[in-house]
Amino acid sequence: MKFVYDFTEGNKDLKDLLGGKGANLAEMTNLGLPVPPGFTITTEACKVYLESGEEPAALRDEVSAHLAALEERMGKKLGQADDPLLVSVRSGAKFSMPGMMDTVLNIGLSDKSVQGLAKQAGDDRFAWDSYRRLIQMFGKTVLGVDGELFEDALEAAKAAKKVTVDTELEAADLKKLVTKFKKIVKTEAGRDFPQDPREQMDLAIKAVFDSWNGDRAKLYRRQERIPHDLGTAVNVCSMVFGNLGPDSGTGVAFTRDPASGHQGVYGDYLQNAQGEDVVAGIRNTVPLAELERIDKNSYDQLMQIMETLENHYKDLCDIEFTIERGRLWMLQTRVGKRTAGAAFRIATQLVDQGLIDEAEALTRVNGAQLAQLMFPRFDENAKVEQVGRGIAASPGAAVGKAVFDSYTAVKWSRSGEKVILIRRETNPDDLDGMIAAEGILTSRGGKTSHAAVVARGMGKTCVCGAEELEVDTKRRRMTVPGGRVVEEGDLISIDGSTGKVYLGEVPVVPSPVVEYFEGRMHPGADDADELVEAVHRMMAFADRKRRLRVRANADNAEDALRARRFGAQGIGLCRTEHMFLGDRRELVERLILADTENEREECLKALLPQQKQDFVELFEAMDGLPVTIRLLDPPLHEFLPDITELSVRVALAESRQEPHENDLRLLQAVHRLHEQNPMLGLRGVRLGLVIPGLFTMQVRAIAEAAAERRAAKGDPRAEVMIPLVGTVQELEIVREEADRVIAEVQEATGTELKLAIGTMIELPRAALTAGQIAEAAEFFSFGTNDLTQTVWGFSRDDVEASFFTAYLEKGIFGVSPFETIDKDGVGSLVELAARAGRTTRPDLKLGVCGEHGGDPESVHFFHEVGLDYVSCSPFRIPVARLEAGRAAV
């Protein structure tokens, strides 16, 4: 196996092997751009090292050979005393990763070669400054010395000289500093700073390998779901210097604005400086446009290179460059990060420029970005006072009064106040408060903290880990940087899309993207901005491309109409239990308690017209599109009063000797129906089989509603869905009865009703016997909520708030299986059932209506296993449409 690649040997598609940085350096080299020569040690070498604890035997020789070639090319040797070749050693994994060792510059300098460099450069100060930088970076990142010790020594040197900026230190000062730095290394690392240049290089390479398993790097990978076994590449690159005087400098540039996507000159430049000076903010940079005045030649060349790169990568690129004595060098490029809005704009701009086609454009955006654009946001023009910034854990813009405990959050919100729950970190005891709050703010914890996980699950705005905020829950206050104190009741605003925290109330504006989907804003109209136009076009691309249809989970006409505006092609799940609440609850209660058949019949008779009306409205809203109505699913006790409240009522009435006959009957029923594990109890099809007439009434309501709509010249397309089926026998019994009722209604109304009857597949047994079940079902809809619950044995109502944080922290999964489909487990059952079902009945219609139907990654999976549609809440429909389009690319 080959472990080292010269920059001339790689290309941009070798990111797995060469890392992002190495692959792009190779690509630029081969484009003929001015990249300082160098080579890349592959991720394979890193993997061998990580597995065995030793570098692969062949690596040393390969590095020697590539170094020799580099020396030959540069006409000088690494660390050569009179004219040293210097190199940088940089890490570069496939994905850029904070927490990993970044860069050691100036490798090759030693007590001897620093003199040679001084002579060659004609600049003593420069040489000694370079040497002290090497010892500092090497000491910190390779030898593990506390970086502050070097910083302190540097500060002391400046103070002694009474100067404020590094550049005011002279050669003699820096020489002294080098001596001091070497002492620090000796004391802290227990060894001398290595004088042998090859030893420096080898140690730095090893340090890069080791940094792959640093704590922060590991945590980041877990959070971002980056596999732990990729390893990192190492880039060894000959040094060029931006700190050789006013005709040198360093900068960063974007080929277009990463915020708006507009083309232009975007970036920063710092004269007479090295890369890390820009990051450290030691001196102020100037806008890139100024480079034209400072060094027109380099500027013109850079503009040309930027154009080359954009046309080559066909995307926004960001660039790091250095100018050494008027000569431009490219140090890095990559496809640049951008805001969600810019992603949509850039994708359409590139299509207009003819650089990419519609399909490619779809790969440049994603559902998470679209979801982000659909949240209300803070008014950009508002005056704000930002007091902190944490991790953007769950998007949205939330404003409310600061509260510091769950109890107050609940109490205040009940009295109509909007509150933001502020905690150091949250735990399951805070759940009520989190539900009551507009948003959640914590000063500790990352993207997988309890607060973040639970808030995302609830779709609630959350900023976590805002470490500069000192939260004092005992005194119910928070101190912000600068010492200001936020007391309980003070208004604050948090932005879950950026992680920013503001004092006071920041005005919130609706998302223009939602305004567009709602039909209140039109692309091409005067008030439509570029973003809406771009989203509109991308949605059209997705709709043209996708094979999956997208339906909505909706239970009433209002939701159905919104879903239609958002692009729904029908209803995939109407949960009828929601129709049994409100004033109808009493009727349902009576139905459950009915002792005689007559009484039960009466209740069902009273419910029938109401239920029918529900469906008439729904069919009207979704006229011409399929509407899947699921028969009653939840356990009956959910329609009865709470057992504790009722017991108290009965006990009180008894002690006061008041009449309580009814309550007593109710209580007995509640006891009778009480189940230890209602989720696995009398619900779904089991109810239909046990309560005579219930499902019959529902089917009759559906059939009569359809007939009525037909009579009104409507086009109702009803589908009847049976929940929680585990065996085909259950379905057969219900189906037989349903067919009979439908036939009756057809006969009575003289209307031919083509009602499809199908089932949910949401129990493992159903999935495993799907071939049999398909005999009695015209369609399957996968209920992946219950299927996940039953396949994992996780209670869907409890686990996210209880032990999932621990599971996520331990990396058992990177995301809750209730959010993104667990492909290996739940997913393989879906796949198996889909295949078996279609074997029995080739025209079996297949959909999914669990929460996963609106989750981007899951949508791709459902596309791959050949489902016909996904169904999700109305608000997620655009995301599902977009992802279905992306899945088909």
Q: Are 393 and 426 in contact (CB under 8 A)?
A: no
Looking at 323, 346, 846, 849, which residue binds ligand PEP (CB under 6 A)? Answer: 849
Q: Is 310 or 786 the residue whose CB approaches ligand PEP more closely?
A: 786
Length of the chain in residues, anyone? 889
What ranges make up the beta strands (E) of 144-294?
A: 232-238, 249-256, 263-271, 286-287
Q: Measure CA 142 to chain center.
A: 33
Choose among Mg ion, ligand PEP, none what residue 27 binds, the Cβ cut-off being 5 to 8 Å by kind: none
Position 626 contacts Mg ion (CB under 5 A)? no
CB of 630 to ligand PEP, least distance (A): 7
Contact characters 575-594, ligand PEP, x per CB under 6 A: x-------------------
Is 572 a binding residue for ligand PEP by CB under 6 A? The answer is: no
One character per residue 89-128, x = contact with Mg ion (rule: CB under 5 A): ----------------------------------------
* Cβ 785 to Mg ion shortest distance, Å: 5
User: Which CB sits closer to ligand PEP, 335 or 680?
Assistant: 680
Q: Tell me whether residue 374 or residue 632 sits nearer to ligand PEP (CB atom).
A: 632
Nearest Cα residue to 787 out of 821, 759, 837, 814? 821
Which backbone phi and psi does 460 adopt, to 5 degrees? Answer: -105, 140
DSSP-assigned beta bridge partners for residue 847: 781, 869
**Catalytic option among 536, 849, 852, 872:** 849
405 binds ligand PEP (CB under 6 A): no
How many contiguous H segments (helices) and E segments (strands) does the chain have? 35, 31
Does position 883 interact with ligand PEP (CB under 6 A)? The reply is: no
Q: Does 573 bind ligand PEP (CB under 6 A)?
A: yes
Q: Smaller CB distance to Mg ion: residue 315 or 786?
A: 786
User: Which residues neighbour 134 within 8 Å (Cβ) at sequence distance 6 or greater?
Assistant: 104, 105, 106, 107, 109, 200
Residue choice 445, 716, 783, 853 for contact with Mg ion (CB under 5 A): 783
Residue type, 648: V
786 or 883: CB nearest ligand PEP:
786
Contacts with 94 (C-beta within 8 Å, 6 or more apart), sequence order = 15, 16, 19, 20, 43, 230
Q: Which stretch binds ligand PEP (CB under 6 A): 295-303, 644-652, 686-694, 784-792?
A: 784-792
Binding-site partner at residue 123 among Mg ion, ligand PEP, none, CB < 5 to 8 Å by type: none
Q: Is 786 in the site for ligand PEP (CB under 6 A)?
A: yes
Residue 57 neighbours by CB distance under 10 Å: 8
762-781 mask for ligand PEP (x: CB under 6 A)?
x-------------------
The reply to whether 462 belongs to the active site is no
Compute the least distance from the CB of residue 833 to ligand PEP, in Å: 14
Question: Residue 528 corresponds to which tokens in the numbers above?
Answer: 């439509």
Subset of 752-771 contacting Mg ion (CB under 5 A): 762
CA-CA distance, 217 to 155, in Å (whole number)? 30
Three-class DSSP category at 721: strand
Q: Under the criterion CB under 6 A, does residue 143 sit at the interface with ligand PEP?
A: no
- Residue 800 as a binder of ligand PEP (CB under 6 A): the answer is no
Please confirm, yes or no, whether 578 is among the known catalytic residues: no
Token pair in block for residue 387: 């007091």
548 contacts 867 by C-beta, under 8 angstroms = yes
C-alpha dist (Å) from residue 790 to 55, 534, 679, 841, 884: 46, 42, 10, 26, 27
The smaller minimum CB distance to ligand PEP, of residues 62 and 786, is found at: 786
- Work out how close the CB of 762 gets to Mg ion at its nearest, in angstroms, rounded to a whole number: 5
With CA atoms as reference, report the closest residue to 239 among 267, 201, 206: 201
784 binds ligand PEP per the rule CB under 6 A? yes
Q: Report the C-alpha gap between 550 and 536 in whole angstroms.
A: 17
Catalytic choice (66, 237, 450, 852): 450
CA distance 868 to 678: 32
Of 786, 822, 855, 857, which one interacts with Mg ion (CB under 5 A)? 786
CB 347 within 8 A of CB 366: no
Residues that bind Mg ion (CB under 5 A): 762, 783, 786
Residues that bind ligand PEP (CB under 6 A): 573, 575, 633, 762, 783-786, 849-850
Tell me which residues are annotated as active site.
450, 849
